[in-house]
Structure 1
Amino acid sequence: MKWGLILGMSTLVGLIILYEWPKLKPLPKKDKVSFFMLVFMGWFLSMFDLPNIPGPTSMIESLFKPFSKMLE
């Protein structure tokens, strides 16, 4: 795991929260929860190496490859 990535993204998320908190203070609780959920989901997804993860087509190919001989 890349500790620099985790530390950098956590720092950026913290700065975003600190910057946005004064604007969120007067808003209702629903808005605050949705903001934190969106920020957390973005932080969580940034931890993955998404460009190098195989897509859904490679999963489907690996599932149906044994059946290709039967279908020909």
Structure 2
Amino acid sequence: MAAMISKNTDCVKALLKLGADPDGQAYANPAHSVEWKHDKAPLTVREEVLSDTIGMYPAELVKLLRR
């Protein structure tokens, strides 16, 4: 998640190429996720980025995580 927050596309591409799991838990503490609700499982990195409604992540990064 730190690489996504840094908005460093090259870093994210490299991590994905090396096997980083975009479907892993986004935050060690799920309460840091804006979308987290107590009755739901914590968001994954992919869910967190794709649920962005305020443009926090550049389109190029969002595109990397779309299936």
Q: TM-score, normalised by structure 1?
A: 0.23
Higher-Rg structure is 1
Compute the TM-score of the two structures, normalised by the length of structure 2: 0.23
User: Which one has more relative contact order, counting CA pairs under 8 Å at least 6 apart?
Assistant: 1
